[in-house]
């Protein structure tokens, strides 16, 4: 795992690839992706799904597109108004998970062994993140007080030219991050926005000159401060109609000596 400090050292980012590190293998990602797709089927109910998984001869996961409107939404997505993040299929899917206990919203996710392992990896990566940034006291507190923290984990599905997620922050979390289980060629990147004196969420998808653009690969794990604005713009590559599956998370903790959990990462040198 490596730590990079962006924008003159003001924002620490942890990144690693769990496949390259030998922690997981390709089948781990296939099963994660299948769990997310099964959840989409359940969420859509009777409606036809765009997410029909097949497996190619090399063992990779491939999805076949049918002529259909945007997944999850009850009406076709208006690409001219795609900047309205709250109406996207991914946001509807997320909101359902948020209201029903995140990973517990769908049995396919809650009962998936790979999701449970991913949750453990999120926690261990968070501890390493804190220790690498001279926050060992907080890391030790989290390690020793098993009931004092929780992890909210959910699946994010994006597909097609209209798929995106507007810039936002994760209020109340200690650490935020994301893992990628399916990244087809040409899928949308993760964009990190340089913080200002007034950090806030924005519906705009316009990329700024000093934004950091991270093109994900399957197996990538990225951790960052929860107050850092981040978003997913429209896919621009040749395979933008294929399914991009990621697993965002928040680590939450009751740390009486800290107060506002955002202060943990704001105090880092």
Check which CATH number belongs to the domain holding 14 and give it.
2.60.120
Q: Which domain holds residue 172?
A: 2-266
| Residue predicted with more confidence, 249 or 259 | 249
Whether 51 has a pLDDT exceeding 50, the answer reads no
Q: What torsion, rounded to 10 degrees, do the Cα atoms 98, 100, 104, 106 define?
A: -100
pLDDT band at 57 (very low <50, low <70, confident <90, very high): very low
* Structure tokens belonging to residue 222: 């990225």
Whether 69 has a pLDDT exceeding 70, the answer reads no
Whether 195 has a pLDDT exceeding 70, the answer reads yes
Q: Distance between CA 31 and CA 49 in Å, rounded?
A: 19
pLDDT band at 67 (very low <50, low <70, confident <90, very high): very low
Sheet holding 212-214, edge to edge: 165-168, 230-232, 190-192, 212-214
Number of domains in the chain: 1
pTM exceeding 0.85: no
Tell me what the mean pLDDT of segment 220-234 comes to.
93
Whether 74 has a pLDDT exceeding 80, the answer reads no
Q: Distance between CA 264 and CA 269 in Å, rounded?
A: 11
Per-residue pLDDT, 172: 85
């Amino acid at each position: 795992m490596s730590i990079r400090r962006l924008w003159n050292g003001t924002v620490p980012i942890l990144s690693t690839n769990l496949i390259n590190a030998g922690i997981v293998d390709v089948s781990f990602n296939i099963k994660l992706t299948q769990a997310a797709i099964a959840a989409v089927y359940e969420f859509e109910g009777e409606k036809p799904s765009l997410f029909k998984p097949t497996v190619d001869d090399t063992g990779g996961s491939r999805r076949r597109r049918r002529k259909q409107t945007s997944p999850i939404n009850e009406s076709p997505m208006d690409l001219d108004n795609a900047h309205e993040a709250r109406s996207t299929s991914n946001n509807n899917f997320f909101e359902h998970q948020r209201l029903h206990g995140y990973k517990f919203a769908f049995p396919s996710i809650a009962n998936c062994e790979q999701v449970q392992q991913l949750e453990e990896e999120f926690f261990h990566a968070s501890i390493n993140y804190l220790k690498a940034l001279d926050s060992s006291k907080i890391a030790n507190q989290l390690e020793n007080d098993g009931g004092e923290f929780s992890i909210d984990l959910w699946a994010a599905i994006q597909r097609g030219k209209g798929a995106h997620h507007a810039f936002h922050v994760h209020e109340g979390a200690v650490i935020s991050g994301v893992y990628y289980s399916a990244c087809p060629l040409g899928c949308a990147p993760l964009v990190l926005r340089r913080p200002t004196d007034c950090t806030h969420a924005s519906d705009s998808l316009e990329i700024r000159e000093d934004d950091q653009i991270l093109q994900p690969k399957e197996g990538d794990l990225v951790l960052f401060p929860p107050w850092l604005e981040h978003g997913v713009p429209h896919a621009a590559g040749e395979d933008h109609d294929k399914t991009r599956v990621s697993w965002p998370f928040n680590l939450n903790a009751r740390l009486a000596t800290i107060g506002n959990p955002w202060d943990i990462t704001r105090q880092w040198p």
